[in-house]
Structure 1
């Protein structure tokens, strides 16, 4: 892996929609990521997936973290629609820090797989509009091969 150029500071990296996507959350980096995102005026959301035993709780966590509108239907399609819109937040970018993914992976791997697909789709969609949508997901050590990867 090529190291980032010296001029590519964390805020500059986060501001680049072409680089955004779903990534592993490196240990000890959440505070710096959040600070850089706030500096850029991004909406920052934090979710503890360890507290989500099932799909319903995952959806409730997203509802809270992204202040989803009343029309949110508490299903995967509705989450996908909401994350592709976010007009009620109107920010220059979005950052999600998701802790505790290893617990969800153990309890409900299909829930995690579906969630990752939705998050990747959202990031790609926002990138087409030149808006960064970042997800940093903690799956414990080591991350599952192929589950959290570049866009």
Structure 2
């Protein structure tokens, strides 16, 4: 798969308008942005998921170490004030590989957080999300991930 941008320097990338869609629409608005980067490869079971979020998303002391508590924390976020939140999980197809049924709870938690935070209206009346989740996975796993997420969405409704 061809990369949608080209690195010129470690801090500088070139992108053509058609190569990434509307990159600007994905970028956070001005203001305080909290970003967490996690690795799905280290999230093989529920405890590992909670551990990644505990450290990577700086969960509060009262976190209950279960999926309802994760969902509650991600929908509250008073303990982590920011104007927008970005969660990037690489190798997301490996999340809960040892607890396949728990995937519904996990992705349901992300879904409920995204629905809670809705959208922000930025410059030029462009809508952007306040809680953005990017799930990176192997190109061969995209369809399977789409099905897992769709099923989680269906079961969360």
Structure 2 length normalisation: TM-score?
Answer: 0.66
Q: Contact 2:96–2:103 at 8 Å: present in 1 too?
A: yes
With a CA cutoff of 8 Å and minimum separation of 6, indicate the structure with the bigger relative contact order: 1
Matched-pair contact (CA < 8 Å) for 2:45–2:96: no
User: Does residue 1:78 correspond to 2:69, yes or no?
Assistant: yes
Which structure 2 segments of 5+ residues have no match? 1-16, 122-128
Are 1:127 and 2:118 counterparts? yes
1:140 to 128, 138, 141: 138
Q: Which runs of 4+ in 1 moved over 6 A?
A: none
SS where residue 109 of structure 1 aligns? coil
Structure 1, gaps ≥5 residues long: 15-35
2:62 match: secondary structure: coil
| Aligned twin of 1:116 | 107
Offset of 1:10 from its aligned partner?
2.7
- Number of aligned positions between the proteins: 123
Q: How far apart in 1 are the matches of 2:101 and 2:108?
A: 11
CA distance in 2, matches of 1:105, 1:75: 14
Structure number with larger C-alpha Rg: 2
Distance in 1 (CA, whole Å) between partners of 2:42 and 2:29 is 25
Select which of 91, 102, 107 maps to 2:82: 91
8 Å CA contact retained: 2:45, 2:97:
no
Picking from 42, 46, 69, the partner of 2:37 is 46
Using structure 1 for the length normalisation, give the TM-score. 0.68
- Greater fraction strand: 2
